[in-house]
Structure 1
Amino acid sequence: MEHTVTTLNRPDQDFDIKLRPSRFADFTGQEKIKERLELFVQAAKARNDVLDHALLSGPPGLGKTTLAYIIAESMGANIKCTSGPVIDKPGDLAGLLTSLERGDVLFIDEIHRMQKSVEEYLYSAMEDFVIDIVIDQGPNARSG
């Protein structure tokens, strides 16, 4: 599977990707998490559906990014990667979300550093699959 990768924060990421395991069986450690993620992937495939939202959380070095790539590979999906701090405003998030195709995996590294105002838009996009952004100000303001 060829992945579409947006490297907004690390130009050396392509090299790192080649070194990462691409299957759950090749990933060392995090056994309970791997088992659950594999089960989620199998369930989605059995339903002929996309994987539900997943939040991978923890200290650096535990394999969150690698697991995101493995999930994408397992689902036969493309992955787009970005970093929380580079998504400055809701419009940035809207552009990113509207570029996704059904089933794509979006991995936001350092999501805890994303602007709180942008996080609110992400929540509604994840829950309702809708993002409502006010464009312009005052009497010219409109929802888009």
Structure 2
Amino acid sequence: MVIERRVSAKAASPAEERTFTSLRPTQLEEYVGQTDLVAKLRIALEASRRRNEPLGHILFHGPPGLGKTTLSHIISEEMGTRLVKTSGPSLSRPADLMGILTGLQQGDVLFIDEIHRMPSAVEEFLYPAMEDYRVDF
């Protein structure tokens, strides 16, 4: 007997997205796996809180399903800040990124999924924003 499984390529509805989000861990204590990474994140988060400063830039990389998005949610929750999500392919020109960056508040977490698919012109625009916390347009 052959059982065929198919994965739907359609996007999740807003209700499904809320369900998925509600099932995500919201604290490092709830996160399962990657113990070395979790330990390092715990230290970085605590140091940031004690200094009363935003957490530094972090780049998560790896294949799908390792928890990169979940960890961005956890960091936002642990720091008590907003999470702003976008994707690299949706940022086709620097102006697209400018709209997001100018809406950020101090301490907000910006998560760019699929950042490796972002055009190089947008990447070059992101560098000074990350290094100097300013944008040149």
TM-score, with normalisation over the residues of structure 1?
Answer: 0.83
**Does 2:15 match 1:17?**
no
* Among candidates 27, 51, 55, match of residue 31 of structure 2: 27
- Tell me the CA shift for residue 124 of structure 1: 1.2
CA distance in 2, matches of 1:125, 1:87: 15
Question: How well do the aligned residues superpose, as a CA RMSD in angstroms?
Answer: 1.3
- Tell me the CA shift for residue 16 of structure 1: 1.6
Consecutive unaligned residues of structure 2, counting only runs of 5 or more, are 1-10
Instruction: State how many pairs are aligned.
Output: 125
User: What are the equivalent positions in structure 2 for 1:72-87 lying under 5 Å apart?
Assistant: 72-87=76-91
CA distance in 2, matches of 1:28, 1:44: 23
CA distance in 2, matches of 1:104, 1:38: 18
CA distance in 2, matches of 1:29, 1:78: 25
CA distance in 2, matches of 1:17, 1:56: 19
Q: Please give the per-residue CA displacement for 1:4-63, whole angstroms capped at 9, x wherever unaligned.
A: xxxxx8644332211101111111101111111111000000001111111111111000
Q: Please say which of residues 15-24 and 63-72 is displaced more in the overlay.
A: 15-24
User: What are the equivalent positions in structure 2 for 1:81-100 lying under 5 Å apart?
Assistant: 81-100=85-104
User: What are the equivalent positions in structure 2 for 1:40-51 lying under 5 Å apart?
Assistant: 40-51=44-55
Q: Secondary structure at the match of 1:107?
A: strand
Consecutive unaligned residues of structure 1, counting only runs of 5 or more, are 1-8, 134-144
CA distance in 2, matches of 1:72, 1:89: 26
Q: Please say which of residues 11-20 and 77-86 is displaced more in the overlay.
A: 11-20
Q: Secondary structure at the match of 2:53?
A: coil
**Identical pairs, percent:** 49
- For residue 7 of structure 2, what is the aligned residue in structure 1? none
Which amino acid counterpart does residue 58 of structure 1 have in structure 2?
G
Which amino acid counterpart does residue 87 of structure 2 have in structure 1?
S
Q: Please give the per-residue CA displacement for 1:82-135, whole angstroms capped at 9, x wherever unaligned.
A: 1110011001101100000111001011111111110011111101112112xx
Question: Which one scores higher on RCO, CA 8 angstroms, separation ≥ 6?
Answer: 1
